[in-house]
């Protein structure tokens, strides 16, 4: 626990706002990513119990191909973004959202508005970028 009483935390209201934003963003991306799965998912559209035939079908189609396809999407920008949003949600759950992972300072709300999944404050982020990578 910090010695000083200075509370470096986003207001609950703000967090709620970002959470909604993140969830909406996440849904949008998932829907977008879901497009690749559409043709395959048609086979499993039936009942809940069709998971079995689903995987059989997958085997027919070639899981390798699907894996590659999936990895491709996860490696894409959207995929990275999705991951950052997921992690942001985790941080919300832990009450750590909005804090810079490096210097523990609050990330500006303006920045979070643009990059809801931001993990670093501007200062740390640009430090990283200068370091290359
Ligand atoms: Zn920082």
Q: What percentage of residues in the chain have a pLDDT greater than 70?
A: 65
The confidence score (pLDDT) of residue 92 equals 96
CA distance 82 to 30: 8
Ligand 1 centroid to residue 71 C-alpha, Å: 30
Written as six digits, the tokens of 73 are 């999407």
Task: Tally the C-alpha atoms within 13 A of residue 100's C-alpha that lie toward its C-beta.
Answer: 18
Mean pLDDT of the region 18-24: 96
pTM reported for the whole predicted model: 0.64
The confidence score (pLDDT) of residue 50 equals 44
The confidence score (pLDDT) of residue 36 equals 56
Ligand 1 centroid to residue 69 C-alpha, Å: 35
Ligand 1 centroid to residue 127 C-alpha, Å: 9
Q: Is the pLDDT of residue 87 over 90?
A: yes
The set of residues, in sequence order, having a beta carbon less than 8 Å from that of 127 and lying 6+ positions away, is: none
CA distance 36 to 57: 16
Give the model confidence (pLDDT) of 48-85 as tens digits: 444 444 555 555 556 677 677 666 666 677 788 888 99
The set of residues, in sequence order, having a beta carbon less than 8 Å from that of 8 and lying 6+ positions away, is: 2, 99, 104, 105, 106
Ligand 1 centroid to residue 122 C-alpha, Å: 7
Ligand 1 centroid to residue 90 C-alpha, Å: 19
pLDDT range class, residue 47, cuts 50, 70, 90:
very low
Ligand 1 centroid to residue 118 C-alpha, Å: 11
According to CATH, the topology of domain 12-130 is 1.20.120
Mean pLDDT of the region 9-25: 95
Ligand 1 centroid to residue 22 C-alpha, Å: 21
Mean pLDDT of the region 94-115: 94
Residue pair 93/23 in contact (Cβ under 8 Å)? The answer is no
Ligand 1 centroid to residue 121 C-alpha, Å: 4
Ligand 1 centroid to residue 124 C-alpha, Å: 4
Crossing angle of helices 63-75 and 12-41, rounded to 10°: 150
**Whole-number average pLDDT of the chain:** 79
Give the model confidence (pLDDT) of 106-123 as tens digits: 999 999 999 999 999 999
């Amino acid at each position: 626990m910090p010695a000083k009483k200075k509370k470096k935390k986003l207001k609950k209201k703000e967090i709620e706002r970002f959470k909604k934003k993140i969830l909406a963003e996440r849904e949008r991306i998932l829907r977008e990513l879901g497009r690749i799965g559409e043709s395959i998912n048609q086979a499993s559209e039936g009942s809940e119990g069709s998971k079995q035939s689903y995987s059989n079908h997958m085997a027919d189609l070639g899981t390798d191909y699907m894996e590659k396809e999936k990895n491709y999407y996860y490696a894409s920008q959207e995929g990275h973004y999705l991951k950052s949003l997921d992690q942001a949600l985790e941080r919300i759950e832990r009450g750590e959202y909005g804090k810079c992972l490096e210097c523990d300072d609050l990330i500006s709300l303006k920045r979070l508005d643009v990059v809801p999944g931001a993990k670093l404050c501007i200062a740390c982020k640009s430090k990283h970028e200068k370091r290359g990578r």
